[in-house]
Amino acid sequence: MTSRDLGTWEPNNGRARLEEAAPPPARVLLLEPFYGGSHKQLLDLLSAHLDSCVAFTAPAKKWHWRARTSALDFSQKVPPNPTYRVLFCSSVLNLCELVALRPDLARLKKVVYFHENQLVYPRRREQDRDFQYGYNQILSCLVADVVVFNSAFNMDSFLSNLAPFLNKIPDWRPPQDLLAVIRPKCHVLHFPLHLADVGRLLPRNKLPPEVPAAATPTHADDVTTPQTRPDSPGTPLHIVWPHRWEHDKDPELFLSTMLKLKEEGLDFRLSVLGETFTDVPGKHMCTHEGVRVCCMRLCHFPEVFSRCRPALEPHVLHWGGLACRERYLKVLCQADLVLSTARHEFFGVAMLEAVHCGCYPLCPKALVYPEIFPAEYLYATPQQLLKKLRNFCIQPRRVRTHTLKVDTSRFSWDVLKGAYQRLLST
């Protein structure tokens, strides 16, 4: 729980005594069943910068089980506290189950934050979709007082798919006024970025003309190549892909595009970053010619990285997630271009962080991206993506001398803090 240290100055037989006041009572209860990635970033910001918050979390592992069971888990772990006034949770938690198990929490102002929504989360086959996850999110909206989405795309896709999703129920249809009940509760409040001061990490070409470049580091752990500076004319284009190694980020499109650039004889440097989780889908049973057999239908995404790496090895600077935040920012600062091939994106923290570090963004003309990025940074087809990257590999200075037209500061915590304070007020 965050609090401020207060003191009182009182005379005591000619001596001054500083007494520490008791911390303010916890008024905001923060619950996060999947404490990792952007979920962790948001909860840490709220805990660190807003007074009278207390947080309960669960590790970012086995997402499906967190979505199924976290209500029961938190109902046992969170002690009763009469000073609570607001409950804030992500949509991973089934809020309906929690307030049924804990009536004392039902009286609070209940805020649900949607980092994503399960109504339109992509599946390779529709029959692979588990109806329960989306249904739980709808129930959470019904019992919540405020429903917050990190982007207009997230909110609109949820609301527009509400009726079609519920129409999958085979022998009962919910009342048609559910949308009328949920829509007035919904608001857009962008994810707040904690934008670090990266000026000391930037190469010369990313600095304003009046700012001198820092001396080139020479220690072995640095991200620059020893031969040339990143802004030297002879340095190949440095592409970074900083996304989770999961199917919704479409690593197959990304890696196949990189292989095509290589086959064309183009030179480039590559940093493949991003998180992996312990519950990567494994072997599944499927029916083949009437026989139940074990297949790898849902677990080939990590494999595609290991399969493609040998061919791309001459171009690779970094391969795999970087646990150290400082080192991650160094890679972004040294890169020229940040690429997304996502088939699922409701905000895109990694892309905006890379842009803050001076990377030229290249994103699909879909999902949340048109809401954030101007049209010149978007591509509509894999062919357009390949063409843009080909031209940038041939002329990397087009990227390095480009003035970015994305204002990341409007997504910063400094700008959005007031809105979050009002959200969590009573």
For 1-41, the pLDDT digits (tens) are 333 333 333 334 444 443 455 667 899 999 999 999 899 99
Cα distances (angstroms) measured from residue 365 to each of 120, 255, 259, 380: 17, 19, 22, 5
Least confident segment among 268-282, 318-332, 344-358, 397-411 = 268-282
Contact 369, 378 (CB under 8 A): yes
- The pLDDT, as a whole number, for residue 277 is 55
pLDDT 10s digits, 122-177: 665 555 678 999 999 999 999 999 999 999 999 999 999 999 999 889 888 777 78
> Rounded to an integer, what distance in angstroms lies between the CA atom of residue 135 and that of residue 165?
8
- The pLDDT, as a whole number, for residue 210 is 59
**pLDDT of 360 higher than 90:** yes
**pLDDT of 209 higher than 90:** no
**pLDDT of 224 higher than 70:** no
* Rounded mean pLDDT, 167-189: 90
> Rounded to an integer, what distance in angstroms lies between the CA atom of residue 138 and that of residue 94?
9
**pLDDT of 281 higher than 80:** no
Please provide the average confidence, as pLDDT, over all residues in the chain.
Answer: 85
Tell me the three-class secondary structure of the chain, residue by residue: CCCCCCEEEEEECCEEEEEECCCCCCCEEEEEEEECHHHHHHHHHHHHHCCCEEEEEEECCCHHHHHHHHHHHHHHHCCCCCCCCEEEEECCCCHHHHHHHCHHHHCCEEEEEECCCCCCCCCCCHHHCCHHHHHHHHHHHHHCCEEEECCHHHHHHHHHCHHHHHCCCCCCCCCCCHHHHHHHHEEECCCCECCCCCHHHCCHHHCCCCCCCCCCCCCCCCCCCCCCCCCCCCCCEEEEEECCCCHHHCHHHHHHHHHHHHHCCCCEEEEEECCCCCCCCCCEEEEECCEEEEECCCCHHHHHHHHHHHHHHHHEEEECCCCCHHHHHHHHHHCCEEECCCCCCCCCHHHHHHHHCCCEEEEECCCCHHHHCCHHHEECCHHHHHHHHHHHHHCCHHHHCCCCCCCHHHHEHHHHHHHHHHHCCC
- The pLDDT, as a whole number, for residue 60 is 93
* Rounded mean pLDDT, 292-318: 71
* Rounded mean pLDDT, 404-417: 96
> Rounded to an integer, what distance in angstroms lies between the CA atom of residue 27 and that of residue 89?
14
Task: For residue 13, give every residue at least 6 positions away whose Cβ sits within 8 Å of its Cβ, in sequence order, or none.
Answer: none
Task: For residue 314, give every residue at least 6 positions away whose Cβ sits within 8 Å of its Cβ, in sequence order, or none.
Answer: none
- The pLDDT, as a whole number, for residue 126 is 58
Least confident segment among 158-162, 165-169, 281-285, 353-357 = 281-285
- pTM of the predicted structure, to 2 decimals: 0.82
> Rounded to an integer, what distance in angstroms lies between the CA atom of residue 251 and that of residue 245?
7
Contact 109, 144 (CB under 8 A): no
- The pLDDT, as a whole number, for residue 280 is 42
71, exposed or middle or buried, with CB in 10 Å at 0-12, 13-18, 19+?
buried
- The pLDDT, as a whole number, for residue 335 is 97
Nearest to 66 by CA among 35, 106, 40: 35
Task: For residue 278, give every residue at least 6 positions away whose Cβ sits within 8 Å of its Cβ, in sequence order, or none.
Answer: 61, 62
